[in-house]
Amino acid sequence: MTEIEAIRERHSVRAYLDKKIDSETVEKLNALIGRCNEKGNLHLQLLEDAGNTFNRLMSKVMGLGSAPSVIACVGPDDRTVEERVGYYGEKVVLYAQQLGLNTCWAGTYSAKNVPAEIGQNERLVIVIAIGYGANQGRPHKSKTPQQVVAGSGEKPDWFNFGVEMALLAPTAINQQKFEISLKEDGTAAFADRRGPFSRVDLGIVRYHFDVGAAYARKQKE
């Protein structure tokens, strides 16, 4: 499965099988997480035992209490950490999909019960439930490109395909509060339209866009 296929096939999953992630898959995930931490200046951590992370009533009702493992998205407490968490966290999420796992970005959890290492001047931004899903989730209604792209006129193919992939990005309560524009220098710009976890969402959207844009450019070679 390619990343593009993972983007198309991956949906949020809230119900999980009572099955631990196998050791070989854990090793692969940790290797990628290590690279993402280094490149993104983050402290993402795969916690094989989710413990009581999802012990709140709402989480139990949503089904996340069945998730066997969790990725704690920890990083330096600075103004860009949320977007970096979204960008690199989604890279891990898509890789997990390629490995046959399922995931769900979760803003509802018991922070005091997340057994993560949080260093001085770091903070826990959000968590990602991960495991073998009891189902594959389902797609949600999405905005159109016209609703998220700023400016008029024709756009290059790489930009349009990037937007197509960005619209498949998971966002909190499916809000899709972002805007993408094509700058005069030929690069894409992303704007946050504010909402719950919208800075994390913006990082996720940017990663999807980058994967799509890179794929479209490669097809032109």
Query: How high is the pLDDT of residue 80?
Result: 96
CA 219 to chain centre: 25
Query: How high is the pLDDT of residue 170?
Result: 95
Query: How high is the pLDDT of residue 22?
Result: 96
- Return the bridge partners of 182, or none: 188
Beta strands in 99-186 (DSSP E): 102-106, 122-131, 178-182
109: left (phi over 0), alpha (psi -120 to 50) or beta: beta
pTM over 0.85: yes
DSSP 122: E
Structural domains for the chain: 3-131 (3.40.109.10), 145-220 (3.40.109)
Query: How high is the pLDDT of residue 57?
Result: 66
pLDDT per residue of the chain (221 residues) written in tens, 0 to 9: 999 999 999 999 999 999 999 999 999 999 999 999 999 999 999 999 998 888 766 666 677 889 999 999 999 999 999 999 999 999 999 999 999 999 999 988 888 889 999 999 999 999 999 999 999 999 888 999 999 999 888 999 999 999 999 999 999 888 999 999 999 999 999 999 887 889 999 999 999 999 999 999 998 77
φ, ψ of residue 5 to 5 degrees: the values are -65, -40
Query: How high is the pLDDT of residue 60?
Result: 64
Q: Judge whether 212 and 164 are in contact, CB under 8 Å.
A: yes
Q: Taking the C-alpha atoms of 97, 2, 85 and 11 in order, what is their torsion angle to the nearest 10 degrees?
A: -40
Query: How high is the pLDDT of residue 84?
Result: 98
DSSP 18: S
